[in-house]
């Protein structure tokens, strides 16, 4: 079988792989196996891990509730081309925005002096520097991953089966649940897993809008950041734990995408 891969592609490809893998290997070799379990099972570490998993799960649910309709509107609506392109660009800004800027934007929205600060306080709600702020920060940075993945899959399906179902008398919601979503289920699963992974690793926006309160807003990335000076060994052990979780998540997403 004739290969279409140019030979010159191998050296830069290998260099690119080493560029990513060597730092991960550096973390691995710094971990002492004899103390790894003790370090990651410390009360503060378990609290941060538990908070990270719970808030990432909550933000993933929010991503699904908001991202699926957004992807449907972007791929199926009759909004004029320029307006649709502008809307898509605005919705994908968190992908390229520095996380700390996203955190400031959220703080100016839900903080005491923020855009919604007055109405939230009137309702007795304190969002900034709370667990809810962690979920908002994670959702802000993770939502575009789900929207981008799902919109691409919806565009590739073309909508022929949906139009046929509609012509047979199926209502839009029935078409969505019976035809559209089953047809893009691998992409939906992949986008969901990637959103969870992005939420799990969120740092900049979280520390800006939620702070670092143990048991309330101190997620695993924040715990690693604080330990880097006081207990480097614990920071390295938790870093490896986060790498392993991310690896499992990415492998699951890749398996879903292939399926």
Output the pLDDT for position 258: 63
- What pLDDT was estimated at residue 2? 57
Q: How far is CA 96 from CA 46, 103, 226, in A?
A: 31, 13, 25
Find, among 48, 66, 220, 206, the residue nearest to 128 by Cα.
206
pLDDT at 174: 87
pLDDT at 158: 67
Q: What is the pLDDT of residue 183?
A: 86
Degrees to nearest 5, angle at CA 9 with 5 and 13: 120
CA quadruple 236, 229, 134, 239: dihedral, nearest 10: -10
Q: Is the pTM of this model over 0.85?
A: yes
Domains of the chain in sequence order: 37-258 (1.10.3720.10)
Which two three-digit tokens encode residue 42?
A: 């410390």
- The gap between the terminal CA atoms of the chain, to the nearest Å, is 26
Write down the pLDDT at residue 256.
61
**How much is the pLDDT for 213?**
94
Q: What was the pLDDT predicted at 80?
A: 82
Q: Give the mean pLDDT per block of 10 residues along the chain (259 residues).
A: 80 95 93 91 93 96 96 86 86 92 96 90 91 97 94 82 78 84 88 92 95 95 93 93 87 67
């Amino acid at each position: 079988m004739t290969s279409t891969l140019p030979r010159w592609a191998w050296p830069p490809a290998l260099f690119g792989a080493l560029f990513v893998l060597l730092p991960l290997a550096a973390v691995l070799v710094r971990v002492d196996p004899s103390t790894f379990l003790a370090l990651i099972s410390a009360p503060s570490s378990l609290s941060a891990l538990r908070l990270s998993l719970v808030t990432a799960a909550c933000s993933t649910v929010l991503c699904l509730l908001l991202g699926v309709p957004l992807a449907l509107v972007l791929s199926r609506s009759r909004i004029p081309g320029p307006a649709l392109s502008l809307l898509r660009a605005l919705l994908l800004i968190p992908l390229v925005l520095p996380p700390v800027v996203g955190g400031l934007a959220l703080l100016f929205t839900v903080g005491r002096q923020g855009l919604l600060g007055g109405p939230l306080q009137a309702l007795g709600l304190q969002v900034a520097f709370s667990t809810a702020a962690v979920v908002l920060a994670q959702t802000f940075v993770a939502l575009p991953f789900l929207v981008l993945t799902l919109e691409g899959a919806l565009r590739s399906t073309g909508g022929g089966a949906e139009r046929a179902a509609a012509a047979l008398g199926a209502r839009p919601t029935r078409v969505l649940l019976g035809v559209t979503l089953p047809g893009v289920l691998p992409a939906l699963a992949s986008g969901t897993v990637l959103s969870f992974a992005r939420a799990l690793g969120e740092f900049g926006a979280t520390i800006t809008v939620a702070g670092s309160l143990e048991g309330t807003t101190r997620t695993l990335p924040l715990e690693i950041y604080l330990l880097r000076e006081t207990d480097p060994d614990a920071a390295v052990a938790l870093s490896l734990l986060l790498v392993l979780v991310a690896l499992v998540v990415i492998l699951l997403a890749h398996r879903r995408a292939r399926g």
